[in-house]
Amino acid sequence: MLYKSLNLKAPKVTFEQAVTLGLAPDKGLYFPDTIIPLENSFFETIATRSNEEIAYTVIKQFIGSEIEENDLRKIISETLCFGFPLTKIEENIYSLELYHGPTMAFKDVGARFMARCLAYFNKNKPNQKNTILVATSGDTGGAVANGFLNVQGVEVVILYPSGKVSDIQERQLTTLGQNITALEVDGVFDDCQDMVKRAFLDSELAHKNLTSANSINVARWLPQLFYFFFAYKELKKMNLPIIISVPSGNFGNICAGIMAKKLGLPIQHFVAATNLNDTIPRFMLDGMYNPKPSKATLSNAMDVGNPSNFIRIQELYKHDFLAFKNDFSSYAFSDEETLVALKDLYTKNQYIAEPHGAIGYLGLKEEMKKHGKSVGVFLETAHPIKFLDTVEPTLEICLPIPTQIESIMNKEKKSIKIKTYTDLKNYLG
């Protein structure tokens, strides 16, 4: 399988090269050179298939022969070692819970898959070393740290802003040790991000084989295809048009959903629900892409002003705005609206959501007004415990600590404090 750069000024590469490079040399995002729809018989029989089988069928064309069938099946089954329940909220509205993995964020699936692909490629190269360098404002770091723990030939370096991530998130980054190092930056998230970007461009660090592990990387982005097939597997028997709402920040998750539709998955309509970082809701009004600096909100994993994956979505529609508008809507919601939705979900439906899922729910309700009888799904992308500072006071409840989180609460925090790019460079060596 070959991948092209969406800037079209770099050579096509293999899956392995796309994974190890992250971004193309011309700074473009990698994108599959061909996308072949799946056979009808697959969709007809999907309800009888296991999640592992579905995942294998969906992703194999994007890997080609670069990973042996048995190894790819093993990578998939290790990636999907937890459930993806579809919970009924109200008549014809469901929550697809993506937070039952080890760090209780949907990013676990992408991180686990990518880590295992890199381990596979490094297996026969004892001298190969990759360094995964990530800046995190919260959820990405924990999922990446956990996913890559003890992966052969891979060092993970995570930059996070000191005092700006929650207690649980900090513990997820700083207590693992082994091949994971947390750099605690005296600054804000943007400072971390700037240092990481500078390191990727720094020729003096070329020997470190720096790789990104955000949704720009095809191995983190593509496995998100699975969620949409899992939802369809459960809902097919209802025989209704399906609408899916995705709380969106960098638009990697929803881009995978749209890609699933290109593979033939019968989804009627997609909704990208955002917080006040509304670059895409504004784009949908007039087709003008005007990114803005990000604003801080309660749903902070979606505080993105310039969503990097949107270019991949436009590629899927060959930049045809009208065709795109037919399949896709986007709505923005304030923190106040988010809190009202959180409360409503709890008092009316006894469902405990968190701010990102609540925004997904709001987007879904908005879109469903425009359709006849249909069934709607919103993705719940994090466990409420990850956002307990908002959830507990709003719902006036005390959340029990899940076992995944409990196990890190008493471990010792280890981080290295840094302030400047020179500090980072000295650390990386």
Ligand X SMILES: *Cc1c(COP(=O)(O)O)cnc(C)c1O
d(CA 70, CA 51): 16
Candidates 42-50, 152-160, 243-251, 324-332 — which segment interacts with ligand X by CB under 6 A? 243-251
Cα(296)–Cα(300) distance, integer angstroms? 6
Residue 276 CB, nearest distance to ligand X (Å)?
A: 15
User: One of 4, 107, 261, 386 is an active-site residue; which one?
Assistant: 107
What binding mask, one character per residue, do residues 291-320 give for ligand X by CB under 6 A, x or -?
----------xx------------------
Q: Interface residues for ligand X in 176-215 (CB under 6 A)?
A: 215
Strands 375-380 and 328-332: unpaired
Interface with ligand X includes 382 (CB under 6 A)?
Answer: yes
How open is the CA angle 407-387-100, to the nearest 5 degrees? Answer: 55
CB of 200 to ligand X, least distance (A): 19
Q: Taking the complex as a whole, how short is the minimal distance between the CB of residue 396 and ligand X, in angstroms? A: 23
- Shortest Cβ 278–ligand X spacing (Å): 14
In this complex, which beta carbon is closest to ligand X, that of residue 122 or of residue 245?
245
Site string for ligand X, 124-143 (x = CB under 6 A): ---------------x----
Min separation Cβ 395 and ligand X, Å: 18
Give the position of tokens 């970082």: 277
- Which residue number, 30 or 121, has a Cβ lying nearer to ligand X? 30
CB of 2 to ligand X, least distance (A): 24
CA 75, CA 223: separation in Å to the nearest integer? 11
Pairwise CA distance, residues 222 & 218, whole Å? 6
Question: At closest approach, how far in Å is the CB of 140 from ligand X?
Answer: 6
C-alpha–C-alpha distance, residues 227 and 213, integer Å: 19
Nearer to ligand X, 32 or 257 (CB): 257
Taking the least distance from each CB to ligand X, the nearer of 250 and 279 is 250
Count of residues interacting with ligand X (CB under 6 A) = 16
Which residue's CB is nearer to ligand X, number 144 or number 205?
144
Distance from the Cα of residue 122 to its chain's centroid = 24
Residue 346 within binding range of ligand X, rule CB under 6 A: no
Over the window 390 to 409, marking each residue x when it contacts ligand X by CB under 6 A and - when it does not, the resulting string is: --------------------
Q: Which stretch binds ligand X (CB under 6 A): 34-42, 129-137, 182-190, 244-252?
A: 244-252
The 2-5 sheet, strands edge to edge: 13-14, 2-5, 30-32
Q: 279: Cβ–Cβ under 8 A, 6 or more apart, which residues? A: 289, 290, 291, 292, 305, 306, 307, 310
Q: What's the token pair of residue 326?
A: 């037919």
**Which residues does 370 contact at the CB level (< 8 Å), separation at least 6?**
none
> Which residue is listed with tokens 């995978």?
256
Which residues have CB under 8 Å from 241's CB, separation 6+? 268, 269, 371, 372, 373, 374, 375
**Rounded-to-10 torsion of CA 268, 276, 191, 419:** -120
Check binding of 250 to ligand X (CB under 6 A). Answer: yes
Under rule CB under 6 A, residue 107 binds ligand X:
yes
Q: Does 117 bind ligand X (CB under 6 A)?
A: no
Residue 381 interacting with ligand X (CB under 6 A): yes
Out of 226, 230, 251, 351, name the contact with ligand X by CB under 6 A. Answer: 251
In terms of CB distance, is 4 or 220 closer to ligand X?
220
CA distance 402 to 16: 36
Find the farthest-apart pair of alpha carbons in the chain and give their distance in angstroms, rounded.
60
348 is a catalytic site residue? no
Would you tell me which residues interact with ligand X (CB under 6 A)? 105, 107, 139, 215, 247-253, 301-302, 356, 381-382
- Enzyme catalytic residues: 107
